[in-house]
Structure 1
Amino acid sequence: MSIVMAGVLIAGGMGFPAMVALAQMRGGPPRDMPMPSLPRAAIEHGRASEVGRPIDPWERGLERAEAAQAERLSRNQRDKAETTAKQYPEDYELDRNGALAIRGEVLASDLPDRALAAAQRAGFSVVRREQVEDLGLTMTVLTHPGWSVTRMVDALRRIAPDVAIEADHLFFPSGAVGSGSVPGMPVRGQHGDWRVGMIDTGAEPVARQARLVQQGFAAGGVVPNDHGTAVAAILARTPASGAVYVADIFGNGRRGGTAELMVRALGWMARQNVPVVNIGMVGPYNGVVASAVSILVRRGFLIVAPVGNDGSSARPLYPASLEGVIAVTGVDARGVLLPEASRVRKVDFASPAILSIRGIAGNMVQMRGTSFASPVVARQLAELLPAPAPRAARAAVETLARSAWQPKRGRSLPGHGVIGMPQPSH
């Protein structure tokens, strides 16, 4: 599978199952859950940081968290979510912020037995209860006949105020697919064995030298798609003497791409001991996902995610906006920030975000968006971090930060600057 970076505007739909037709969701503001962030090098850019430090996700109080979460999504994103919920009312509904969620189900992380019993006395029933052993947490999915997800979340938070309880939000790939082929510049990695993970759609085999290990978490199992194939191709770019672990959380139905499936996929990555995981999706803040991410970050895993494609009017998107996650924006072949790249405060690196690949149907497809920038960063970090470890994770990010560059002219890019492409001579 050949991949090419280029600086050409692409437009088009993703061509996913109906559930994924909505290109991306703009998440609400963070709940100020303190998490580790980049290493010491990031302080020069005005953001304090520590990878791998112990944290208490609730040390600032649930009341403050709920107040921050109360802001709604933008009108444009609410309209998109509302349209999708109306189109598939048996599958989806909206939470209080206008974000899309699975109808009639809520998630709880590590719900104590006493709280569960109280919830059952209040009319709740358990849909699923699963031990995510590799994360050391328990996910419980609950429902209450006739209640909205907002009403259920509020009631359960009163029963268990110290537990992460959320709607089962949907996350969406942060990129677009077009057709045709464009010239550009190959992106090459360094030599050496590496292991990198991706949480996305399924992928077609992308390189003979790279081993592709795939696991399905949604209905239909592993279902290759152009989006996941493009991300895998970037992760496996030459030289590809390593392994790409693909967690497909979309499958072939409308109930994929959820917070519950993302947590299960993170648990699988922990079980496989994959040190760097690229999550090529965006969505609203979800405390259950944040709890799972914080567990991995404390252990010295590196999580990489795109900031989204909402332009200058963007609000924070997740998981990129969580503390401890490496947030990546996109640039064109000249190193110029894509006009649609989300303008958010938390950005760590910029990378090429336009490429052309041979799609699963055999035709050349063009991909554009920040979800194709984050795997460039993830691959380079994977070459620097052979195994999860907090100190080594800090060192890997510091090393990558030193290799980044800023434009010689014009405005500086957010974060440390560009990696994954040579600096233009003029």
Structure 2
Amino acid sequence: MKKTLVAALFLAGLPAVSPGQVVRPPELPPPLVDTLKQPTAELLRQTEQLQQQLAEQRLREQLATLATLPDPLQLPAVQDILTLSGEPLWREVEVEQGFRAIEREWLLLLTADEWQALLQRWPELAGYLQRQQPLPALQLTLVTLKVPAALDSASALAQQFSAELLRYSGRNHLYQPQQQASTAAPQAAAQSKASMCNWPVSLGMVDTDINTELPALAVQSGHFNLVARRFLPEQLAASYAHGTAVASLLAARDPAITPLLPQLTLYSAAAFYASNAVQQSASLEHLLTALDWLASQPLQVINLSLTGPDNPVLALLIQQLQARGLSLVAAAGNGGPAATPLYPAAYPGVIAVTAVAPDMTPYRWANQGDYIDFAAVGVRVAALTANGQVQPQSGTSLAAPVVSAAVACWRAAQPQLTHQQVYQLLMQQARDLGEPGKDPVTGHGVIEPPLETQL
């Protein structure tokens, strides 16, 4: 009875509705969730906009800071090289075509009799004499002059003395290795699946010092023998990065690296010093003395993972080495496809090696040109750093040792072969890429281990 009364009272309070009339419920306020969505979305939009503005501001500040810092890969136009105690040894300067040289130093490469004849003809040359060194293996004399600024060009020397003098002379240019550290993850490093050959091989190289304190490069009879000599002033700090990387490709005993030459006797001539924290350089004077020493050793192949300008003195020495039957293998350079030829790779008879990636695509920074002879994998290659870490490294410097190893294997297996005969064997083994025949990108093709001895 009570429930009936309450219901009646409730119904009595409702408005009367005629038949067919639609009754609309009273409008309610919007749900609380919808009410909150609008200011929340606006707050998120404003927050994202503020974060983007802050990120852009930080980027501008970082770029402005970087713009004030020196590029480690770009050396200053003038730079003093100091001893360990801070005393200046020599001054590097930028010279013709953007190359570098020791300030106002010129080299003469000639016989002792020819030098004496020049002194008799132009006695004033004696006043410019800095050093006179015998190159006993090649039976030549290397003379270093320091000329006044007024004579510091080929044209000025020719005018003051004679164009004949230029036949013997050239600047004391600087040469650089052709290697770049990779930013790829360590697991991206590629390693050779096989050695080039498994018999005893001798090979020479001009490079930086090698860190033989590393277990992977410890001398071990029957596996890795090292004959090393340094051609730099004792008071100059040693550089180890590049030479250690190249030597590791040739002979390292490390799970991540398959050595190209597991029974190697390596003759290492250290001629590179640190121009800065990441750049190494070798003066032509030190290169020449290093090459003369290698010419006196029991080897037939020299690896030159370095490049620089054409120089009459270097060209003359290369000819002398070739006349002795030596095979010279050199990095083509990392100047890019449009770069001018680099030396010694571009000299006639020198085997110029470019780099490709493991998938056989050309290395994007490699030089190209008619002087390219062969290619080898030299991109993201597993190699040792100076402190013993295995990291991916790239450059034509890392490709050249592959071809050097192939040449050395052939010449060790068949010592009677000439350089040209070995070159023909390499042509037969090369994996041709692109259009058939030699091309300016990869030359005759890619050389890969193992050596095919049944050609």
TM-score range, shorter chain: 0.7 to 0.9
1:188 alignment partner in structure 2: 195
Kindly provide the amino acid, as one letter, of the partner of residue 223 in structure 1.
A
Q: Does 2:257 correspond to 1:232?
A: no
Q: 1:257-268 maps to which residues of 2 (within 5 A)?
A: 257-268=282-293
Q: Does 2:77 correspond to 1:107?
A: no
Deviations 1:223-247, CA, capped at 9 Å, x for gaps? 3522111111222215511211111
Q: Does 2:403 correspond to 1:377?
A: yes
Q: Say which one has the larger Rg.
A: 2
Tell me if the contact between 1:311 and 1:339 (Cα under 8 Å) persists in the aligned partners.
yes
Q: C-alpha displacement at 1:350, in angstroms?
A: 0.4
Aligned equivalents of 2:260, 2:373: Cα separation in 1:
24
Q: Which secondary structure state, in structure 2, belongs to the residue aligned with residue 171 of structure 1? A: strand
Q: C-alpha displacement at 1:200, in angstroms?
A: 0.9
Question: Over aligned residues, Cα RMSD in angstroms?
Answer: 3.0
Which sits farther off after the overlay, 374-383 or 118-127? 118-127
Q: Which secondary structure state, in structure 2, belongs to the residue aligned with residue 313 of structure 1? A: coil
Tell me if the contact between 1:274 and 1:388 (Cα under 8 Å) persists in the aligned partners.
no
1:417 alignment partner in structure 2: 445
Kindly provide the amino acid, as one letter, of the partner of residue 375 in structure 1.
P
Q: Which of 152, 173, 177 is the matching residue for 2:177?
A: 173
Q: Which secondary structure state, in structure 1, belongs to the residue aligned with residue 303 of structure 2? A: strand
1:49 alignment partner in structure 2: none
Deviations 1:23-70, CA, capped at 9 Å, x for gaps? 6xxxxxxxxxxxxxxxxxxxxxxxxxxxxxxxxxxxxxxxxxxxxxxx
Tell me if the contact between 1:106 and 1:153 (Cα under 8 Å) persists in the aligned partners.
no
Tell me if the contact between 2:137 and 2:296 (Cα under 8 Å) persists in the aligned partners.
yes
2:17 alignment partner in structure 1: none
Q: C-alpha displacement at 1:273, in angstroms?
A: 2.9
The gaps in structure 2 that reach 5 residues or longer are 1-70, 82-89, 252-258, 451-455
Tell me if the contact between 1:219 and 1:253 (Cα under 8 Å) persists in the aligned partners.
no
Aligned equivalents of 2:189, 2:148: Cα separation in 1:
55
Aligned equivalents of 1:143, 1:339: Cα separation in 2:
39
Kindly provide the amino acid, as one letter, of the partner of residue 311 in structure 2.
N
1:85 alignment partner in structure 2: 77
Aligned equivalents of 2:369, 2:72: Cα separation in 1:
21
Aligned equivalents of 1:322, 1:156: Cα separation in 2:
29
Aligned equivalents of 2:408, 2:146: Cα separation in 1:
40
Deviations 1:94-152, CA, capped at 9 Å, x for gaps? 33444211012110111431212344336742111111010121111112344453166
The gaps in structure 1 that reach 5 residues or longer are 1-20, 24-79
Aligned equivalents of 1:390, 1:165: Cα separation in 2:
35
Aligned equivalents of 1:363, 1:162: Cα separation in 2:
46
Distance 1:91 1:326, change over 3 A: same
Kindly provide the amino acid, as one letter, of the partner of residue 268 in structure 1.
W
1:286 alignment partner in structure 2: 311
Structure with the larger helix share: 2
Aligned equivalents of 1:135, 1:222: Cα separation in 2:
29
1:249 alignment partner in structure 2: 271
1:164 alignment partner in structure 2: 168
1:330 alignment partner in structure 2: 355
Q: C-alpha displacement at 1:402, in angstroms?
A: 0.8
Aligned equivalents of 2:180, 2:151: Cα separation in 1:
32
Q: C-alpha displacement at 1:183, in angstroms?
A: 4.3
Aligned equivalents of 1:309, 1:87: Cα separation in 2:
23
Aligned equivalents of 2:230, 2:374: Cα separation in 1:
30
Kindly provide the amino acid, as one letter, of the partner of residue 94 in structure 1.
E
Aligned equivalents of 1:272, 1:103: Cα separation in 2:
32
Which sits farther off after the overlay, 124-133 or 112-121? 112-121
Q: 1:203-218 maps to which residues of 2 (within 5 A)?
A: 203-205=210-212, 206=217, 208=220, 209-218=223-232
Q: Does 2:328 correspond to 1:303?
A: yes
Q: C-alpha displacement at 1:365, in angstroms?
A: 2.5
Q: Which secondary structure state, in structure 2, belongs to the residue aligned with residue 373 of structure 1? A: helix
Aligned equivalents of 2:285, 2:136: Cα separation in 1:
14
Which sits farther off after the overlay, 136-145 or 315-324? 136-145
Kindly provide the amino acid, as one letter, of the partner of residue 240 in structure 1.
P
Tell me if the contact between 2:301 and 2:408 (Cα under 8 Å) persists in the aligned partners.
yes
Percent identity of equivalent pairs: 27
Q: Does 2:138 correspond to 1:135?
A: yes
Q: Which secondary structure state, in structure 1, belongs to the residue aligned with residue 412 of structure 2? A: coil
Distance 1:261 1:163, change over 3 A: same
